Structure 1
């Protein structure tokens, strides 16, 4: 992914401001998506920042971000809300692959220091599983995922990803490609 120096500082500032607000207001959350993968070693994203919150904390999270100066937007999708500030977008997800985000998922996210602020970061395997689960005939761009998989390959639970991809042809195709390119560990069975 190409770098956009004009966008990245805005995204970084939005990441810090949103995490700081959620943290100070006691909203359970974890950094997810592209920025979490960046923390794990992938290229820095240039589109948005993603956080996951438990489904029962959505209104608390929205109020927290609104109080921190974000403009909260409720799109038609029923699994997230968006928060905008200074031209940067933060997606706050409360469902991943149709399943509600819950406290155990947030608790499984190890805390790391990002841009001078400690926050929970979702494990790379959880994020990759969600990304593979979102592949479909309407969205099947594997190129960005290949770069991410290559960057974080040692941190991924490949057997788990293979198990979760079973009967999902787009995810299976991606994993076959990572096998053939030598990105993943050898497939068993």
Structure 2
């Protein structure tokens, strides 16, 4: 059971998530909710940290302007692939690169418009959520314990053979998929590369 402090933090993240989505919608910037909150909308446990959105790389500057014009506090961090919308102790990341690659319009176009905390917004497809999460795994960050509940919750929504093909170059992701098969989360042959 989350503590009152975690509940307050989540409520603040939820509010900032909604405000960010509404600003992007009203500004006509293509976007999709991604990461932990996208997985949550699709049935995974709610994250206890920030929310994330993707925008096409070509829309990054316009997204920053739209968010600032909506009265949100936009911070340009040292990383050259995201900006942060910040309020008090919470933030929302708006990314235009994921897994080292520019976000393409096609990724955003595959998102489904779903109700998120009473706001209709594009939410990354379950297969894309898993691919983007798995592709972040490396020797510096390889937390299978955080990935397992997400994979379990989304397993029936995911095209596992497609995930396997798209992450085949990442040994950490491949091993995680093998673990899912061995644990019976997905059929072992569902993630085998053919």
Aligned to 1:29: 31
Partner residue, 1:182: 184
Matches within 5 A, 1:40-189: 40-187=42-189, 188=192
Structure-2 separation of matches of 1:89 and 1:138? 23
Report how far residue 103 of structure 1 moved. 1.7
TM-score (norm: length of structure 1): 0.94
Structure 1: unaligned runs, 5 residues or longer? none
Per-residue deviation, residues 12-62 of structure 1 (Å, max 9, x unmatched): 100110001110111111111111000110011111010000111111111
CA contact (8 A) 1:158 1:185 kept: no
In 1, distance between residues paired with 2:107 and 2:171? Answer: 26
How many pairs are equivalent? 189
Q: What value does the CA root-mean-square deviation take over the aligned residues?
A: 1.6
Kindly state the Cα deviation for residue 2 of structure 1 after the two structures are TM-superposed.
Answer: 5.1
Q: Is the 8 A contact 2:33 2:54 kept in 1?
A: yes
Unaligned runs of 5+ in 2: none
Alpha carbons of structure 1 residues 182 and 22: separation in structure 2 relative to 1, 3 Å: same
Q: CA deviation at 1:64?
A: 1.6
Q: TM-score, normalised by structure 2?
A: 0.92
Deviations 1:138-182 (A, max 9, x none): 111110000110111111111111112324211111111111111
Q: Distance in 2 between matches of 1:167 and 1:81?
A: 28
CA contact (8 A) 2:32 2:124 kept: yes
